[in-house]
């Protein structure tokens, strides 16, 4: 693995780590406020947290921008930033809304498994966008899906109302990953992330006032999970996702992000003392194995083997 994929892997893994632990915050918050209120407030908080970051990163990159503009290329064009932020915001709004509503009508295990199906939807949708997926990556996807099934599913599998909502949610998450993949090389990741949260908050607020009765007392009662979800899960994790996806194959990115399910199980074991079954341990190992396989570059291995062979020949010669 080269240095760049290693850095991106760390950023995407940190994203999965934060999202995995954030499930506890989401569950606790739902005891005091509705799903649209939760999404509206946490997205607004996430956007506000990133506003100073936009100016901070903007100053640091000014020298780079001047150099690029001198070469005849205009970075962070307002049109690309606006369109990218709008599309990401819409996809994020649809994904989080469907997830928060759908999880009320299905089990947590099924919700986790169905949501993570974006790891197979991303390469399938990528085919229509003329994105090639190697046989090695398809094997990784199959291994990850098998691991997810062992990790999440413990009973008979059938699709109910909540399951269908989670399936559509998974499709929206897959589209969100592909939209990020399209815009991440064109605009600043921090700007893209900031705009998407304000868009998501605005759309969630509309549904909040239409279908719920938001109360300040309820929001204040859930302040801790909202702060975690807004600052870390939104402001930090989604920004890490956008930056980490830059230069990363979207299918590989989706595989790494799916470790969210593994982290949630491990968090329950470490923080809540929940026992891990042999089936769940096997599921975790399969998913980790899938991620490692996806990160291995066969061409790099061949080059190293060829270089080692040439060195031996030089020594023997």
The pLDDT score that the predictor gives to residue 71 is 43
Spatial separation of the C-alpha atoms in residues 117 and 101, rounded to whole Å: 18
Measured CA to CA in angstroms, residue 220 lies from 33, 42, 211, 215 at distances of 10, 12, 20, 9
Residue 272 vs residue 256, higher pLDDT: 256
pTM here is 0.78
Q: How many CB atoms lie within 10 A of CB 150?
A: 21
DSSP annotation of 106 reads S
- pLDDT 10s digits, 305-315: 555 455 445 55
Residue 7: is its pLDDT beyond 70?
yes
At 315, give phi and psi (nearest 5°): -65, -45
The pLDDT score that the predictor gives to residue 88 is 94
N- to C-terminal Cα distance for the chain?
Answer: 31
Spatial separation of the C-alpha atoms in residues 222 and 25, rounded to whole Å: 9
CB neighbour class for 8 (10 Å; exposed up to 12, middle 13-18, buried from 19): buried
pLDDT (mean) for 131-135: 78
Spatial separation of the C-alpha atoms in residues 68 and 240, rounded to whole Å: 24
The pLDDT score that the predictor gives to residue 95 is 92
Spatial separation of the C-alpha atoms in residues 142 and 97, rounded to whole Å: 28
Place 258 in a pLDDT band, splitting at 50, 70 and 90: confident
pLDDT (mean) for 112-127: 80
- Nearest 10 degrees: Cα torsion 76, 79, 80, 84: 130
Spatial separation of the C-alpha atoms in residues 163 and 143, rounded to whole Å: 22
Helix (H) or strand (E) holding 101: helix 78-102
The pLDDT score that the predictor gives to residue 275 is 67
Spatial separation of the C-alpha atoms in residues 236 and 94, rounded to whole Å: 20
Place 200 in a pLDDT band, splitting at 50, 70 and 90: very high
Nearest to 288 by CA among 308, 265, 311: 265
Which residue range is the domain that position 136 belongs to? 3-316
Count of structural domains within the chain = 1
Coil, helix or strand at residue 33: coil
Spatial separation of the C-alpha atoms in residues 111 and 162, rounded to whole Å: 8
- pLDDT 10s digits, 36-67: 999 999 999 999 999 888 877 666 555 545 54
Measured CA to CA in angstroms, residue 200 lies from 81, 96, 124, 144, 207 at distances of 15, 9, 26, 29, 11
Q: How many CB atoms lie within 10 A of CB 160?
A: 13
Residue 152 vs residue 252, higher pLDDT: 252
pLDDT (mean) for 201-208: 96
Sign of the dihedral defined by the CA atoms of residues 63, 64, 70, 73, in that order: negative
């Amino acid at each position: 693995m080269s240095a760049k994929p290693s850095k991106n892997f760390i950023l995407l893994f940190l994203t999965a780590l934060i999202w995995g632990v954030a499930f506890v915050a989401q569950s606790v918050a739902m005891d005091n406020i509705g799903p649209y209120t939760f999404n509206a407030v946490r997205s607004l908080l996430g956007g506000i947290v990133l506003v100073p970051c936009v100016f901070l990163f903007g100053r640091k990159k000014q020298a780079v921008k001047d150099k690029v503009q001198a070469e005849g290329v205009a970075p962070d064009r307002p049109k690309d930033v606006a369109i990218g932020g709008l599309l990401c915001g819409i996809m994020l709004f649809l994904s989080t809304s469907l997830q928060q509503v759908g999880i009320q009508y299905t089990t947590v295990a099924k919700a986790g498994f169905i949501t993570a199906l974006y790891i197979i939807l991303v390469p399938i949708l990528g085919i229509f966008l003329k994105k090639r997926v190697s046989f090695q990556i398809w094997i990784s996807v199959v291994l990850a899906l098998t691991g997810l099934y062992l990790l999440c599913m413990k009973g008979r599998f059938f699709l109910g109302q909540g399951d269908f909502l989670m399936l559509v949610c998974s499709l929206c998450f897959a589209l969100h990953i592909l939209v990020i993949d399209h815009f991440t090389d064109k605009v600043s990741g921090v700007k893209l992330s900031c705009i998407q949260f304000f868009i998501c908050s605005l759309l969630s607020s509309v549904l909040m006032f239409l279908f719920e009765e938001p109360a300040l007392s309820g929001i204040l009662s859930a302040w801790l999970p909202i702060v975690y979800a807004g600052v870390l899960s939104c402001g930090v994790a989604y920004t890490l996702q956008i930056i980490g996806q830059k230069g990363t194959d979207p299918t590989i990115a989706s595989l790494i992000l799916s470790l969210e399910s593994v982290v949630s199980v491990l968090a329950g074991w470490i923080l809540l003392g929940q026992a891990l079954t042999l089936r769940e341990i096997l599921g975790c190992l399969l998913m980790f194995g899938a991620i490692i396989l996806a990160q291995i570059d066969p061409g790099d291995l061949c080059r190293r083997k060829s270089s080692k062979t040439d060195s031996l020949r030089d020594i023997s010669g």
